[in-house]
């Protein structure tokens, strides 16, 4: 390869790898398998060794993937969180062993651990108390997710064992059990939310939620694989893990000490099939030199320890023919390309379709109709195409082109900057979007209208009885009785349920409207800040983004929704039907415990949200203030309270109360 060609290829690989890193760590939307990613990284590493003049300090071969997000504070790791080198063959494991023996000139013992597929975490304990939990981040610093990790039941908040180090760090993997993942995705699919690709994405996404209560509801687990301290109880990795288990940490009992590489390979072969019976996803085996003295002697590369390696199992894969590509429209207008395949057996079931995610993945795969494609399940909801066997392609094959117009209504598709998916903007008149929004409106977590399923909505739409969800409130029992599979009792129950839905709280009504990017949690947050629909309709983008959890994308979507006259007409018809379009007035106890008190809230809370505490203050006669002054009665102080507020309070002698003290104060009354 010429130097100019090498430089061009290196630059292209770096951009492609950074894009995949962003999709994996930040967006939780990987479009290629780990194996394909490793091939790209290995190619780049090979080229950089051959052409060292083009090595750059920001090359992905020298850096750990980065999961840092702006919503959290960042903290440096006491011990850097490095990545591991990967291998997919026994030969590479033997080569790893040979390099070890050459350096230390004696037989190394190894510790083998299942490589659980989740989100890496580093947890610090001081004097036995959990003080901070930080994500991998870029390996040097990561996001502080302490409050979320404290909700995980397998993570001890306090260690009471004897002779523990004054400060130590445990490293582990935050994982989501498969059964929890399946339930979560079933719920997301029912509510027309994009399902998580696999349990790793679900665990990683959950760990970055801003509401610890929602994190707690998802039953995450934390499996420990490392103990670090300047005062370790033992001089080897295996016994230190066993000690961590004695202290109350969840250390998998699958870990094994292997005296040589042959025992390591036997362990790898044993778990190739057995791992499928575990409650968690695994994608390989981690092999570590057991002796800490040997680890120190072997040292590190720029981003990986020389004394450890990850053996990756390849996901089950089959080859079949791509027959066609269909484009489906969801309730929010998102366009999802789906590959129709020649039926093939994969992981015990017959596969006929595979997800293609978006235009970018189709382009990356360079798909042509009648291609022989590699299909993999690997934890996906439905299988995905991971590659093409180009040796079967002929000159007459037709390249797969992403559509320009909606296949249902013909409207030109739109793709916003920073978003991966195209969508149809004709949300008021595109049939699958109309029916999808009505199905969302009646769903259990929205208006909870019983008796109306997908088939019934389709029937009402085809009979021209409804064209949007406000039409539901004009339906008469006599209109429903003659319909196929209906009858008087069913019709009566549906009308009663529609009428009962007028009691639905305002925040659930907002969720039911189906505003793009406004989910259940965001709808609740909006309802707490904008207590009437009028205040929300008139809100500016700046007022919206001032609210926690609302970024520019959500704000723009809300403004767009309420700038449409047809949407405003639908809302007016809901008002006429008696639907709650404002928060109910809260009963204020004028003689309450907080009467006449001015209270500042600062920090992050576990028991209630900031908005709920503001409401409690007002209901008990108090006043919420934003800044500390001589008139401040006290500060309700959470974790990570602002330093400037704390210093100001000390100067003025303003007392601080934590959550429990505040709630006890209210309960005394």
Ordered strands of the 221-228 beta sheet: 129-135, 119-126, 167-175, 221-228
Residue 283: its H or E element:
strand 282-289
Question: CATH for 317-392, among 1.20.1420.30, 3.40.630.30, 2.40.50.140, 3.30.1360.120?
Answer: 2.40.50.140
Q: Give the mean pLDDT per block of 10 residues along the chain (669 residues).
A: 83 83 64 72 83 77 58 83 87 93 90 93 94 89 90 91 92 92 79 72 84 83 95 95 95 95 95 87 92 93 88 84 92 88 81 88 91 77 82 87 94 86 88 91 89 88 92 94 87 93 93 89 87 93 84 90 94 95 70 84 78 80 84 87 80 89 75
Two structure tokens written together for 372 = 């022989």
Could you list the beta-strand ranges (E) of 136-245: 141-143, 167-175, 221-228
What is the per-residue pLDDT for 70? 52
pTM above 0.85? no
Task: Specify whether the CB–CB gap between 218 and 199 falls below 8 A.
Answer: no
Task: Specify whether the CB–CB gap between 600 and 656 falls below 8 A.
Answer: no
Q: Is the Cα dihedral 242, 244, 248, 249 positive or negative?
A: negative
What is the per-residue pLDDT for 92? 92
Residue 271: its H or E element:
helix 261-274
Task: Say which CATH topology domain 3-54 has.
Answer: Helix Hairpins (1.10.287)
Top CATH class, 74-312: alpha beta
Superfamily designation of domain 431-576: 5' to 3' exonuclease, C-terminal subdomain (1.10.150.20)
Q: Report d(CA 106, CA 5) in Å as an integer.
A: 44
| Triad 11, 17, 18: Cα angle to 5° | 90
What is the per-residue pLDDT for 516? 84
Other Cβ atoms less than 10 A from the Cβ of 214: the count is 14
From 2, 115, 297, 580, active-site residue: 115
What is the per-residue pLDDT for 547? 83
115 catalytic per annotation? yes
- Give the residue extent of every domain in the chain: 3-54, 74-312, 317-392, 431-576, 598-668
The number of residues making up the chain comes to 669
Fold identical between 3-54 and 431-576? Answer: no
Question: Treating both helix axes as pointing N-terminal to C-terminal, what angle do 454-462 and 431-442 enclose, rounded to 10 degrees?
Answer: 130
Task: Specify whether the CB–CB gap between 443 and 508 falls below 8 A.
Answer: no
What is the per-residue pLDDT for 445? 82
Helix-strand-coil split of the chain, %, nearest 5 = 40, 20, 40
Instruction: Give counts: helices (H), strands (E), the chain.
Output: 24, 20
Q: Report d(CA 633, CA 651) in Å as an integer.
A: 14
- Write the CATH number of the domain with boundaries 598-668: 3.40.50.10190
């Amino acid at each position: 390869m010429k130097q100019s060609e090498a430089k061009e290829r290196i630059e292209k690989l770096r951009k492609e790898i950074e894009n995949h890193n962003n999709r994996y760590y930040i967006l939780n939307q990987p479009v290629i398998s780990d194996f394909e990613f490793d091939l790209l990284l290995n190619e780049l590493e090979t080229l950089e060794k051959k052409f060292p003049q083009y090595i750059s300090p920001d090359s992905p071969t020298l850096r750990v993937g980065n999961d840092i997000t702006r919503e959290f504070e960042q903290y440096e790791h006491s011990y850097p969180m490095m990545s591991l080198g990967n291998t997919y063959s026994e030969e590479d494991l033997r080569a790893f062993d040979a390099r070890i023996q050459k350096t230390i000139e004696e037989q190394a013992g190894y510790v083998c651990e299942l490589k659980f597929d989740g989100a890496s975490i580093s947890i610090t304990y001081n004097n036995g108390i959990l003080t901070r939990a930080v994500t991998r981040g870029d390996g040097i610093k990561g996001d502080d997710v302490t409050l979320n990790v404290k909700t995980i039941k397998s993570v001890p908040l306090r260690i009471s064992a004897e002779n523990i180090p004054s400060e130590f760090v445990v490293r582990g993997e935050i994982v989501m059990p498969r059964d929890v993942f399946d339930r979560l995705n079933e719920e997301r699919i029912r509510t027309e939310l994009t399902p998580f690709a696999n349990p790793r994405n679900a665990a990683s996404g959950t760990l970055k939620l801003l509401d610890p209560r929602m994190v707690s509801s998802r039953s995450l687990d934390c499996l420990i694989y490392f103990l670090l301290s300047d005062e370790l109880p033992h001089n080897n990795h295996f016994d230190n893990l066993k000690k961590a288990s004695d202290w109350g940490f969840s250390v998998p009992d699958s870990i094994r000490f292997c005296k040589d590489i042959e025992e390591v390979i036997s362990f790898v072969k044993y778990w190739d099939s057995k791992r499928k019976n575990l409650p968690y996803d695994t994608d390989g085996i981690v092999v570590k030199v057991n002796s800490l003295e040997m680890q120190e002697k072997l040292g590190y590369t720029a981003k990986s320890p020389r004394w450890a390696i990850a053996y990756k199992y390849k996901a089950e894969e089959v080859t079949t023919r791509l027959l066609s590509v269909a484009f489906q429209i969801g309730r929010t207008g998102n366009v999802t390309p789906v590959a129709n395949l020649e039926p093939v057996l994969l992981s015990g079931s017959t596969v006929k379709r595979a997800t293609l995610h978006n235009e970018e993945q189709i382009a990356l795969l360079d798909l042509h109709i009648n291609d022989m494609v590699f299909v993999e399940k690997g934890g996906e909801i439905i299988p995905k195409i991971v590659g093409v066997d180009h040796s079967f392609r002929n000159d007459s094959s037709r390249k797969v082109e992403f559509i320009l117009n909606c296949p249902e209504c013909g409207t030109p598709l739109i793709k916003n900057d920073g978003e991966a998916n195209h969508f149809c903007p004709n949300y008021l008149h595109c049939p699958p979007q109309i029916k999808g929004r009505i199905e969302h409106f009646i769903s259990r977590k929205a208006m909870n209208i019983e008796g109306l399923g997908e088939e019934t909505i389709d029937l009402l739409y085809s009979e021209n009885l409804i064209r949007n969800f406000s039409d539901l409130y004009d339906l008469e029992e006599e209109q429903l009785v003659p319909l196929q599979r209906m009858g008087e009792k069913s019709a009566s129950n549906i009308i009663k349920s529609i009428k009962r839905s007028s009691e639905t709280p305002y925040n659930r009504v907002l969720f039911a409207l189906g505003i793009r990017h406004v989910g259940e949690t965001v709808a609740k947050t909006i309802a707490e800040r904008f207590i009437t629909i009028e205040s929300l309709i008139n809100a500016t983008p700046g007022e919206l983004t001032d609210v926690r959890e609302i970024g520019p994308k959500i704000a723009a979507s809300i403004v767009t929704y309420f700038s449409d006259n047809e949407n405003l007409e639908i809302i007016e018809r809901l008002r006429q039907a008696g639907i709650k379009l404002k928060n109910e007035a809260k009963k204020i106890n004028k003689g309450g415990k907080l009467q006449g008190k001015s209270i500042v809230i600062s920090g992050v809370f576990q028991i209630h949200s900031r908005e709920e505490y503001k409401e409690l203050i007002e209901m008990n006669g108090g006043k919420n203030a934003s800044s500390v002054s001589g008139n401040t009665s006290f500060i309700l102080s959470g974790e990570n309270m602002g330093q400037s507020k704390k210093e100001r309070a000390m100067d003025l002698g303003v007392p601080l109360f934590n959550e429990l003290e505040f709630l006890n104060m209210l309960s005394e009354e």
